[in-house]
């Protein structure tokens, strides 16, 4: 649709982006004055990546068709229900990211953390810094669980856990970010009542209304905008991002076939994004 020669939808997207950028500045300013939180994150380890490669495993349905044993003995990051993957314990990931507020509301049981630690005692959990002051997490803090308390520069990216994974990996100086299981079409699977993740569906989503989906679809559109921005951000930081997902809709990152990863292929990665 055009009005006075202007594409009204592109104009609205730009206006939304500006509003969200201003809100993000407000959130960052507010966080700056949270003294306890700033003191907490000052204790985080720095330069964790040390120019290593990292392999991020997200939870899209395509993951069921991939052989994750290729990641054995590499630096691996899983997210959310990823610990339910058959290879999780054998792969012994280095990181596990939990940032969804469902952990606070009880929709996702806190006992997931115990299951993760039982399988991988050396795991480093990555969680929002504000959670550190919630009583639910005090037992894990008291017993010295490895936790990296995360704050985000991009609070309103609509990328959720994937955005946290990318931001952490870029800021912590990893050299190359390989990721898989990012089909980016989960909302379509939900609307069609089909499996939106490798483990099936999130049962809590079955109660969604059309108004809930209206919000989800809006966030999904912002999701694509943010991914293009992340591709540029990574390039600016001289970090390579490579999509190993089988299929999916993302076109802003160079792709490789997971089955073809070798030392030589990693050294010959593409240096430019679309």
- pLDDT per residue as tens digits for the range 114-138: 999 999 999 999 999 999 999 999 9
Six token digits for residue 49: 């990546």
- Residue 271 predicted with pLDDT over 60: no
From residue 108, how far is each of 83, 100, 103, 161, 271 by CA, in Å? 13, 9, 5, 15, 39
Q: Do the domain assignments include residue 220?
A: yes
pLDDT at 270 over 60: no
Whole-angstrom distance, CA of residue 196 vs CA of residue 216: 14
Residue 206 or 147, more confident = 147
- Residues 6+ positions from 143 with CB-CB distance below 8 Å: none
Does residue 17 lie within any of the structural domains?
Answer: no
The residue ranking higher by pLDDT, 192 or 50, is 50
Q: What is the mean pLDDT of the chain?
A: 89
Per-residue pLDDT tens digits for 94-114: 999 999 999 999 999 999 999
Model confidence band, residue 208 (pLDDT cutoffs 50, 70, 90):
confident
Whether pTM exceeds 0.75? yes
Domain that holds residue 104: 34-267
CATH code at 218? 3.90.1480
Let me know if residue 25 belongs to a domain.
Answer: no
Task: Give me the pLDDT at residue 262, please.
Answer: 63
Residue 260 has pLDDT above 90, yes or no: no
Summarised one tens digit per residue, pLDDT across range 167-179 is: 999 999 999 999 9
Whether residue 204 lies inside any domain: the answer is yes
Count of domains forming the chain? 1
Q: Band the pLDDT of 264: cuts 50, 70, 90.
A: low
Question: Residue 198: its pLDDT value, please?
Answer: 86
What span, in angstroms and rounded, lies between the C-alpha atoms of 195 and 198?
7
- What lies within 8 Å, CB to CB, of 72 at 6+ separation is 90, 91
In a domain, 24, yes or no: no
In a domain, 23, yes or no: no
For residue 16, is it within any domain? Answer: no
In the predicted model, is pLDDT for residue 268 greater than 80? Answer: no
In angstroms, the CA 177 to CA 174 distance is 7
24 vs 115, residue with greater confidence: 115
Residue 178 CA neighbour count, 13 Å, CB half:
23
36-40 LR contacts (CB < 8 Å, sep 24+): 36/133, 37/129, 37/130, 37/132, 37/133, 37/151, 40/129, 40/132, 40/149
> What is the per-residue pLDDT for 57?
98
Q: Tell me which of 77 and 203 has the higher pLDDT.
A: 77
């Amino acid at each position: 649709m055009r009005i006075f020669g202007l594409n009204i939808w592109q104009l609205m997207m730009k206006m939304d982006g500006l509003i969200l950028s201003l809100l993000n500045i407000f959130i960052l300013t507010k966080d700056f004055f949270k003294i306890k939180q700033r003191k907490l994150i000052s204790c985080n380890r720095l330069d964790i990546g040390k120019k290593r490669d990292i392999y991020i495993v997200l939870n899209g349905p395509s993951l069921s068709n991939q052989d994750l044993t290729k990641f054995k003995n590499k630096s691996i990051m899983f997210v959310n229900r990823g610990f339910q993957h058959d290879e999780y314990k054998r792969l012994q990931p280095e990181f596990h990211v939990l940032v969804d507020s469902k952990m606070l509301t009880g929709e996702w049981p806190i006992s997931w953390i115990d299951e993760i630690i039982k399988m991988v005692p050396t795991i480093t959990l990555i969680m929002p810094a504000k959670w550190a002051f919630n009583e639910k997490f005090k037992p894990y803090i008291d017993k010295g669980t490895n936790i990296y308390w995360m704050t985000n520069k991009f609070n309103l990216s609509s990328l959720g856990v994937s955005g946290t994974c990318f931001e952490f990996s870029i800021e912590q100086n990893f050299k190359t970010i390989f990721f898989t299981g990012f089909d980016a079409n989960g909302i379509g699977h939900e609307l069609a009542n089909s499996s939106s993740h490798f483990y099936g569906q999130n049962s809590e989503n079955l109660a969604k209304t059309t108004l809930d989906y209206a919000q989800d679809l809006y966030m999904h559109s912002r999701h694509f905008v943010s991914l293009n921005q992340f591709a540029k951000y990574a390039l600016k930081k001289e970090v390579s991002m490579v999509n190993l997902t089988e299929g999916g809709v993302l076109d802003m990152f160079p792709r490789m076939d997971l089955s073809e990863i070798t030392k030589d292929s990693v050294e010959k990665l593409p240096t430019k994004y679309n």
